[in-house]
Structure 1
Amino acid sequence: MRIHLTSVFVDDQEKAMRFYTDVLGFVKKSDVPMGADRWLTVVSPEDPDGTELLLEPSGHPGVQPYRAALAQDGIPAASFAVDDVRAEFDRLRGLGVYFTQEPLETGPVTTAVLDDTCGNLIQIVHSG
Protein backbone atom coordinates (compact mmCIF):
# COMPACT_ATOMS: atom_id res chain seq x y z
CA MET A 1 0.00 0.00 0.00
CA ARG A 2 1.25 3.49 -0.86
CA ILE A 3 -0.05 7.01 -0.34
CA HIS A 4 -1.37 8.12 -3.72
CA LEU A 5 -3.10 11.40 -2.86
CA THR A 6 -3.38 13.78 0.04
CA SER A 7 -4.90 17.23 0.22
CA VAL A 8 -4.86 20.67 1.76
CA PHE A 9 -7.95 22.84 1.89
CA VAL A 10 -7.46 26.16 0.11
CA ASP A 11 -9.52 29.35 0.03
CA ASP A 12 -8.78 30.06 -3.64
CA GLN A 13 -7.61 27.33 -6.00
CA GLU A 14 -6.03 29.68 -8.55
CA LYS A 15 -4.10 31.55 -5.85
CA ALA A 16 -3.06 28.22 -4.33
CA MET A 17 -1.87 26.93 -7.71
CA ARG A 18 0.33 30.00 -8.16
CA PHE A 19 1.78 29.69 -4.64
CA TYR A 20 2.40 25.94 -4.76
CA THR A 21 3.97 26.07 -8.25
CA ASP A 22 5.60 29.50 -8.61
CA VAL A 23 6.80 29.81 -5.01
CA LEU A 24 7.16 26.31 -3.56
CA GLY A 25 8.24 24.75 -6.85
CA PHE A 26 5.69 21.95 -7.33
CA VAL A 27 4.32 21.24 -10.81
CA LYS A 28 0.70 20.91 -11.89
CA LYS A 29 -0.38 17.30 -12.44
CA SER A 30 -4.16 17.48 -12.90
CA ASP A 31 -6.56 20.33 -13.63
CA VAL A 32 -10.07 19.04 -14.28
CA PRO A 33 -13.16 21.29 -14.10
CA MET A 34 -15.73 20.05 -11.58
CA GLY A 35 -18.59 22.53 -11.59
CA ALA A 36 -17.53 25.73 -9.83
CA ASP A 37 -14.31 24.09 -8.60
CA ARG A 38 -11.51 21.97 -10.09
CA TRP A 39 -9.73 18.70 -9.39
CA LEU A 40 -6.38 20.45 -9.08
CA THR A 41 -3.27 18.53 -8.03
CA VAL A 42 0.44 19.24 -7.86
CA VAL A 43 3.44 16.94 -7.54
CA SER A 44 7.11 17.25 -6.80
CA PRO A 45 9.18 17.80 -9.96
CA GLU A 46 11.58 15.26 -8.45
CA ASP A 47 8.84 12.59 -8.45
CA PRO A 48 6.21 13.45 -11.10
CA ASP A 49 4.51 10.06 -10.74
CA GLY A 50 4.60 10.19 -6.94
CA THR A 51 2.13 11.36 -4.33
CA GLU A 52 -0.23 14.07 -5.55
CA LEU A 53 -1.32 17.01 -3.41
CA LEU A 54 -4.93 18.01 -4.06
CA LEU A 55 -5.56 21.75 -3.66
CA GLU A 56 -9.05 21.14 -2.35
CA PRO A 57 -11.69 23.87 -2.10
CA SER A 58 -12.46 24.83 1.49
CA GLY A 59 -16.19 25.40 1.02
CA HIS A 60 -17.46 22.63 3.30
CA PRO A 61 -18.83 24.18 6.55
CA GLY A 62 -16.62 21.98 8.74
CA VAL A 63 -13.39 23.11 7.10
CA GLN A 64 -13.19 26.66 8.47
CA PRO A 65 -13.40 25.75 12.19
CA TYR A 66 -10.92 22.91 11.64
CA ARG A 67 -8.37 25.11 9.87
CA ALA A 68 -8.84 27.97 12.34
CA ALA A 69 -8.15 25.60 15.25
CA LEU A 70 -5.01 24.23 13.58
CA ALA A 71 -3.69 27.71 12.77
CA GLN A 72 -4.46 29.04 16.27
CA ASP A 73 -2.48 26.18 17.78
CA GLY A 74 0.33 26.51 15.21
CA ILE A 75 -0.25 23.03 13.78
CA PRO A 76 0.79 22.55 10.14
CA ALA A 77 -1.75 21.08 7.73
CA ALA A 78 1.03 19.30 5.80
CA SER A 79 4.75 18.62 5.97
CA PHE A 80 7.13 18.67 3.00
CA ALA A 81 10.64 17.21 2.99
CA VAL A 82 13.50 19.40 1.79
CA ASP A 83 17.23 18.78 1.51
CA ASP A 84 18.19 21.87 3.54
CA VAL A 85 15.64 23.69 5.69
CA ARG A 86 17.86 26.76 6.20
CA ALA A 87 18.52 27.16 2.44
CA GLU A 88 14.83 26.68 1.60
CA PHE A 89 13.85 29.11 4.36
CA ASP A 90 16.22 31.72 2.91
CA ARG A 91 14.97 31.12 -0.65
CA LEU A 92 11.30 31.34 0.31
CA ARG A 93 11.74 34.30 2.61
CA GLY A 94 13.48 36.06 -0.30
CA LEU A 95 10.28 35.48 -2.28
CA GLY A 96 8.22 37.14 0.46
CA VAL A 97 6.93 34.00 2.18
CA TYR A 98 5.88 34.56 5.80
CA PHE A 99 7.15 32.01 8.33
CA THR A 100 5.48 31.41 11.69
CA GLN A 101 8.49 29.35 12.81
CA GLU A 102 12.04 29.98 11.68
CA PRO A 103 14.34 26.97 11.26
CA LEU A 104 14.49 24.99 14.49
CA GLU A 105 16.82 22.08 15.16
CA THR A 106 15.46 19.37 17.44
CA GLY A 107 18.06 16.66 17.51
CA PRO A 108 18.50 15.20 14.03
CA VAL A 109 15.42 17.02 12.67
CA THR A 110 15.23 20.62 11.45
CA THR A 111 11.85 22.23 10.76
CA ALA A 112 10.35 25.56 9.78
CA VAL A 113 6.70 26.53 9.32
CA LEU A 114 5.31 28.83 6.65
CA ASP A 115 1.95 30.38 5.80
CA ASP A 116 0.77 29.22 2.36
CA THR A 117 -1.42 32.36 1.87
CA CYS A 118 -4.42 30.06 1.31
CA GLY A 119 -5.37 29.33 4.92
CA ASN A 120 -2.76 26.76 5.96
CA LEU A 121 0.46 26.43 7.87
CA ILE A 122 2.94 24.18 6.07
CA GLN A 123 6.00 22.61 7.68
CA ILE A 124 9.22 22.02 5.82
CA VAL A 125 11.46 19.39 7.35
CA HIS A 126 14.83 17.70 6.97
CA SER A 127 16.04 14.82 9.08
CA GLY A 128 19.44 13.41 8.93
Structure 2
Amino acid sequence: MIRINVTSVYVDDQDKALAFYTDKLGFTKKTDVPAGEYRWLTVVSPAAPDGVELLLEPDGHPAARPFKEALVADGIPLTQFAVDDVYAEVERLTALGVVFTQDAIDFGPAVTAVLDDTCGNLIQLATIKK
Protein backbone atom coordinates (compact mmCIF):
# COMPACT_ATOMS: atom_id res chain seq x y z
CA MET A 1 0.00 0.00 0.00
CA ILE A 2 1.28 3.46 -0.93
CA ARG A 3 0.82 6.30 1.53
CA ILE A 4 1.94 9.91 1.79
CA ASN A 5 4.94 10.36 4.05
CA VAL A 6 6.33 13.78 3.06
CA THR A 7 4.88 16.59 0.98
CA SER A 8 6.49 19.94 0.18
CA VAL A 9 5.93 23.64 -0.02
CA TYR A 10 8.56 25.67 -1.86
CA VAL A 11 9.79 28.52 0.32
CA ASP A 12 11.99 31.51 -0.39
CA ASP A 13 13.74 31.37 3.00
CA GLN A 14 13.86 28.27 5.20
CA ASP A 15 14.42 30.15 8.47
CA LYS A 16 11.53 32.53 7.78
CA ALA A 17 9.36 29.59 6.76
CA LEU A 18 10.22 27.64 9.91
CA ALA A 19 9.29 30.62 12.07
CA PHE A 20 5.97 31.13 10.26
CA TYR A 21 4.95 27.48 10.17
CA THR A 22 5.83 26.91 13.85
CA ASP A 23 5.19 30.28 15.54
CA LYS A 24 2.07 31.26 13.57
CA LEU A 25 0.50 28.05 12.25
CA GLY A 26 1.49 25.90 15.24
CA PHE A 27 3.39 23.10 13.52
CA THR A 28 6.33 21.44 15.29
CA LYS A 29 9.80 21.05 13.82
CA LYS A 30 10.44 17.36 13.07
CA THR A 31 13.68 17.17 11.07
CA ASP A 32 16.47 19.70 10.48
CA VAL A 33 19.44 18.16 8.69
CA PRO A 34 22.05 19.92 6.51
CA ALA A 35 21.64 19.09 2.81
CA GLY A 36 24.25 20.96 0.81
CA GLU A 37 23.61 24.70 0.90
CA TYR A 38 20.10 24.10 2.28
CA ARG A 39 18.51 21.80 4.89
CA TRP A 40 16.10 18.88 4.95
CA LEU A 41 13.67 20.80 7.14
CA THR A 42 10.29 19.34 7.99
CA VAL A 43 7.42 20.23 10.29
CA VAL A 44 4.47 18.17 11.51
CA SER A 45 1.16 18.76 13.15
CA PRO A 46 1.36 18.37 16.93
CA ALA A 47 -1.88 16.39 16.58
CA ALA A 48 -0.01 13.80 14.45
CA PRO A 49 3.72 14.00 15.29
CA ASP A 50 4.37 10.72 13.46
CA GLY A 51 2.11 11.63 10.56
CA VAL A 52 2.77 13.33 7.24
CA GLU A 53 5.75 15.68 7.27
CA LEU A 54 5.72 19.03 5.47
CA LEU A 55 9.08 19.73 3.83
CA LEU A 56 9.98 23.43 3.78
CA GLU A 57 11.80 23.05 0.48
CA PRO A 58 13.94 25.87 -0.94
CA ASP A 59 12.56 27.35 -4.16
CA GLY A 60 16.01 27.48 -5.77
CA HIS A 61 15.06 25.41 -8.82
CA PRO A 62 14.54 27.74 -11.83
CA ALA A 63 10.95 26.54 -12.29
CA ALA A 64 9.88 26.90 -8.66
CA ARG A 65 9.60 30.68 -8.31
CA PRO A 66 7.74 31.31 -11.59
CA PHE A 67 5.36 28.47 -10.67
CA LYS A 68 4.70 29.97 -7.23
CA GLU A 69 4.30 33.48 -8.66
CA ALA A 70 1.80 32.26 -11.27
CA LEU A 71 -0.30 30.52 -8.61
CA VAL A 72 -0.31 33.59 -6.35
CA ALA A 73 -1.15 35.90 -9.27
CA ASP A 74 -4.18 33.74 -10.04
CA GLY A 75 -5.12 33.43 -6.33
CA ILE A 76 -4.60 29.65 -6.34
CA PRO A 77 -3.47 28.02 -3.08
CA LEU A 78 -0.45 25.72 -3.33
CA THR A 79 -1.90 23.29 -0.80
CA GLN A 80 -4.63 22.86 1.78
CA PHE A 81 -4.53 22.19 5.52
CA ALA A 82 -7.47 20.77 7.46
CA VAL A 83 -8.71 22.58 10.56
CA ASP A 84 -11.57 21.83 12.91
CA ASP A 85 -13.07 25.34 12.61
CA VAL A 86 -11.96 27.70 9.84
CA TYR A 87 -13.68 30.68 11.47
CA ALA A 88 -11.81 30.16 14.76
CA GLU A 89 -8.48 29.67 12.93
CA VAL A 90 -8.95 32.84 10.90
CA GLU A 91 -9.61 34.75 14.12
CA ARG A 92 -6.63 33.18 15.93
CA LEU A 93 -4.21 33.66 13.05
CA THR A 94 -5.35 37.20 12.25
CA ALA A 95 -4.60 38.11 15.87
CA LEU A 96 -1.06 36.76 15.26
CA GLY A 97 -0.64 39.02 12.22
CA VAL A 98 -1.31 36.43 9.50
CA VAL A 99 -2.70 37.98 6.32
CA PHE A 100 -5.65 36.30 4.61
CA THR A 101 -6.29 36.78 0.90
CA GLN A 102 -9.70 35.10 1.26
CA ASP A 103 -11.75 35.35 4.43
CA ALA A 104 -13.70 32.32 5.59
CA ILE A 105 -16.39 31.38 3.09
CA ASP A 106 -19.05 28.71 3.56
CA PHE A 107 -19.36 26.70 0.33
CA GLY A 108 -21.92 24.25 1.72
CA PRO A 109 -19.93 21.03 2.17
CA ALA A 110 -16.81 22.96 3.21
CA VAL A 111 -15.69 26.23 4.75
CA THR A 112 -12.41 27.61 3.42
CA ALA A 113 -10.07 30.55 3.86
CA VAL A 114 -6.75 31.38 2.18
CA LEU A 115 -3.67 32.82 3.87
CA ASP A 116 -0.33 34.19 2.70
CA ASP A 117 2.51 32.13 4.23
CA THR A 118 5.03 35.03 3.80
CA CYS A 119 7.29 32.65 1.83
CA GLY A 120 5.66 33.01 -1.58
CA ASN A 121 2.63 30.73 -1.21
CA LEU A 122 -1.07 30.90 -0.66
CA ILE A 123 -2.34 28.20 1.69
CA GLN A 124 -5.96 27.17 2.00
CA LEU A 125 -7.49 26.19 5.33
CA ALA A 126 -10.56 23.97 5.13
CA THR A 127 -13.17 22.45 7.35
CA ILE A 128 -15.12 19.68 5.65
CA LYS A 129 -18.61 19.40 7.06
CA LYS A 130 -19.88 15.97 7.98
TM-score tier (shorter): over 0.9
Root mean square deviation of aligned Cα: 0.5
Query: In the alignment, which residue of structure 2 is the partner of 1:94?
Result: 95
Distance in 2, Cα, partners of 1:58 & 1:65:
10
**TM-score normalized by structure 2?**
0.97
Query: In the alignment, which residue of structure 2 is the partner of 1:14?
Result: 15
Q: Which amino acid aligns with 2:125?
A: I
SS of the residue corresponding to residue 66 of structure 1 reads helix
Query: In the alignment, which residue of structure 2 is the partner of 1:25?
Result: 26
**TM-score normalized by structure 1?**
0.99
Distance in 2, Cα, partners of 1:23 & 1:64:
23
Shift of 1:67: 0.5
Query: In the alignment, which residue of structure 2 is the partner of 1:36?
Result: 37
Identical pairs, percent = 64
Shift of 1:88: 0.2
Query: In the alignment, which residue of structure 1 is the partner of 2:123?
Result: 122
Query: In the alignment, which residue of structure 2 is the partner of 1:65?
Result: 66
- Runs of 4+ that moved beyond 6 A: none
Alignment partner of 1:56 is 2:57? yes
SS of the residue corresponding to residue 18 of structure 2 reads helix
Which runs of no fewer than 5 residues in structure 2 stay unpaired? none
